[in-house]
Amino acid sequence: MSHNNQKKIAVINDFCGFGRCSVSVSLPVISAMRIQCCPVPTVIFSNHTGFESFYYTDFTSHLDRYIAEWEKLDLHFSGILTGFFGSREQVDIAKRFIDRFRDENTVVTVDPVMGDYGKLYPTYSDHLAEYMRSLAAKADILTPNLTEACLLTGTAYRERMDDAGLFDICAKLSGMGPGKIVISGLELGDELGNYVYEAGRAPHMVTERRAGPYRSGTGDVYSSIIAADAVNGMDFTESVRHASAFVAKCIRRTEEMGIPRTDGICFEEYLKEL
């Protein structure tokens, strides 16, 4: 009997026990979409860094031995999803993982979690952000926000970017390797935009009415749906609509429930709908 009779997505990201982000989001979301989620934890957090206090253990030194056991099992993955990285060494491990486990049927989704609102996250350096380009080059699908897209292409950040500017950024990103790109979370007044670029098709904007303030982990829910939809064969634009609508619905419900912003979005309320 084979370990490979069911679709699987390997998720290379940190694990957060509380706060609904990273692997603790991807695992239930991808599983609900009838795909086995196989985590590769880079760091283990008690709760995410948006809280005043947290405990963490860096798992980097264990990863080569961890992954070697999967090689012994001859695991095959329909998809690989990457998220936040804290060091160049972790990025290198992700690149080696992709090179080792990718085959002609594997869809690689890279969520280049580096910053927002025109600035790097405090844990990121300019050097590490630049090095992320080498990982983005291995992606089939890339899901940056505008800040990350600008960082990857060396483009000056502007909060409002016109279609020509977005097209230019996506063309540069696609030139690195990925054939499908969505720049998410674009500010459009009462709406948030998702600029969809796909090689061989006209780019376009998918919009969703703003549901509430930014919350931790929304990008992880979003990228997990995109990765799972790709493995399930959904059209890319429809997948962006699917992910955007689901996240917005969850944010509205989370606001109704009076959940602190640090606690992420209550996707459990609608998980069965995926």
Q: Percent of the chain, pLDDT > 90?
A: 84
Strand order in the sheet with 204-209: 56-58, 36-47, 8-18, 79-82, 107-110, 141-142, 180-188, 191-198, 204-209
Q: Is residue 62 part of a domain?
A: yes
The CATH number of residue 223's host domain is 3.40.1190.20
Q: Is residue 179 part of a domain?
A: yes
Helix (H, G, I), strand (E, B) or coil at 252: helix
Residues in the chain, total: 274
Q: Is residue 262 part of a domain?
A: yes
Q: Is residue 2 part of a domain?
A: no
Helix (H) or strand (E) holding 110, with range, is strand 107-110
pLDDT of 156 strictly over 90: yes
Q: What is the pTM of this model?
A: 0.96
pLDDT at 126: 84
Residue 93 is part of which domain span? 8-273
Q: Is residue 3 part of a domain?
A: no
Q: Is residue 1 part of a domain?
A: no
CB 12 within 8 A of CB 42: yes
pLDDT of 205 strictly over 90: yes
**Confidence band (pLDDT; 50, 70, 90) for 127?**
confident
Poorest-pLDDT segment among 57-71, 95-109, 205-219: 205-219
Q: Is residue 57 part of a domain?
A: yes
pLDDT at 129: 85
pLDDT single digits (tens) 9-41: 999 999 999 999 999 999 999 999 999 999 999
For residue 149, give Cα distances in angstroms to 153, 210, 215: 6, 21, 20
Q: Is residue 64 part of a domain?
A: yes
Say how many domains are in the chain: 1
